[in-house]
Amino acid sequence: MESWLASKLPPGSAPQVSALEVPSSNGMSSETVLFGANWREQGRTRTESLVARVAPDAAAVPVFPVYDLECQFQVMRLVGANTTVPVPHVYWSEPDSGPLGAPFFVMKRVEGQVPPDIMPYNFGSWVSEATAEEQARLQKSSVNVLARLHEIAQPERTFAFLQSKQPEPTALRRQVAELWAYYEWVREDLRVPLIERCFTWLQEHWPKDEGETVLSWGDARIGNIMYRQFEPVAVFDWEMAALGPRELDLGWMIFMHRFFEDIAAKMGLPGMPHFLRRDDVAATYESLSGHTPRDLDFYTMYAALRHGIIMSRIQRRAIHFGEATMPEDVDDLIMHRATLEAMLAGTYWK
């Protein structure tokens, strides 16, 4: 790592790397390596705490077919340059697998607290144990991240590299086509009837007005935000970034909290039913952005479907490694099968 860092710095920098650490992570999309580094710069020693995001090993049956870390690097760089959204400063992107065994990029390390996924933050954590005022501050500031991202001017020009290659006439139709292509990759030799029913539902309930195209963060959930004093200090995980309607991010943020709430309810835990409620998120977003969210039945279904495909891949991955067995009913590959069925029936949000 030191020799690689030396190749990125001016001659005579003499970098030293220390305190390498691989922490537990909220995501399965890439590995995270924490390390310290110091080097000579303008006659002084510069010390930085850094993070390397490393692409997963293809032999580990990754969740997604492609990990374009250069794309993530560029998204973070441009978000940092065009908004006040707190993305970590990115330093270098390395497409060569030589130094760490896989492509990676390096960004500045930020200190703070991240709402946990394991066990979920609504099971009992610094988030659920916060005061009502602190939780409200976290909720509003998180929705504000979306409002600020969606303000970026001319996103289709600034983020032209995110343009989908799907031959569809609108950004939303291209996103759904991309999701179908992902499902085709995930399913391999199996068809999952519930997933295909949900795709049919989307086609039958298509928004009449898709609205303007914005930069969509993609994995827009509080588990991908680091906080201090219940305010965001770093926004992570941009591998699902795309161009599409504002409601893609809103639907994902709303659904992902509700997903954890449904698990808490099954386990007899109190959860956080007052937090990130659908109508509250929509109202907060409108007050911050001036845009009235619409078609949230569609966008929360899209989010639940997308998550269902991801979860089926994770389950197939567990089966591959002998950690689970194939269910008799392939719809049971989806952890939140009951949620999708209730959405199809029109009863989930009642």
Average pLDDT over residues 105-117: 97
Beta bridge partners of 212: none
**Which residues contact residue 214 at a Cβ distance below 8 angstroms, ignoring those fewer than 6 apart?**
149, 150, 152, 155, 243, 244, 245, 246
**Is the peptide bond preceding residue 119 cis, with omega within 30 degrees of 0?**
yes
How do residues 323-344 score in pLDDT, each as one tens digit? Answer: 999 999 999 999 999 999 999 9
Whether 58 has a pLDDT exceeding 80, the answer reads no
Whether 36 has a pLDDT exceeding 60, the answer reads yes
Which pLDDT value is given to residue 21?
A: 87
Which pLDDT value is given to residue 281?
A: 99
> Contact at 8 Å (CB) between 306 and 178?
no
pTM exceeding 0.85: yes
Half-sphere exposure of 160 (CA within 13 A, CB side): 2
| Per-residue tokens: 94 | 């390395």
How do residues 9-25 score in pLDDT, each as one tens digit? Answer: 999 999 999 988 887 65
**What ranges do the domains of the chain cover?**
2-108, 121-345
How do residues 185-230 score in pLDDT, each as one tens digit? Answer: 999 999 999 999 999 999 999 999 999 999 999 999 999 999 999 9
Cα–Cα distance measured from residue 197 to residue 213, given in angstroms and rounded to the nearest whole number: 27
Q: CA dist 182 to 71, 179, 308, 312, 319, Å? A: 18, 5, 12, 11, 19
Whether 306 has a pLDDT exceeding 60, the answer reads yes
| Per-residue tokens: 192 | 């999952």
Whether 26 has a pLDDT exceeding 70, the answer reads no
User: Beta strand pairing status for 44-54 and 90-94?
Assistant: unpaired
Which pLDDT value is given to residue 28?
A: 54
Average pLDDT over residues 301-307: 99
How do residues 242-298 score in pLDDT, each as one tens digit? Answer: 999 999 999 999 999 999 999 999 999 999 999 999 999 999 999 999 999 999 999
Q: Which CATH class is domain 121-345?
A: alpha beta
Cα–Cα distance measured from residue 199 to residue 60, given in angstroms and rounded to the nearest whole number: 29
| Percentage with pLDDT > 70 across the chain | 98
Cα–Cα distance measured from residue 70 to residue 114, given in angstroms and rounded to the nearest whole number: 24
Active site residues: 219
Residue, of 31 and 287, whose pLDDT is higher: 287
**Average pLDDT in the chain:** 95
Q: Which CATH number describes the domain made up of 2-108?
A: 3.30.200.20
When computed from its CA atoms, the radius of gyration of the chain, rounded to whole angstroms, is 21
Q: pLDDT-based confidence at 139, cuts 50/70/90?
A: very high
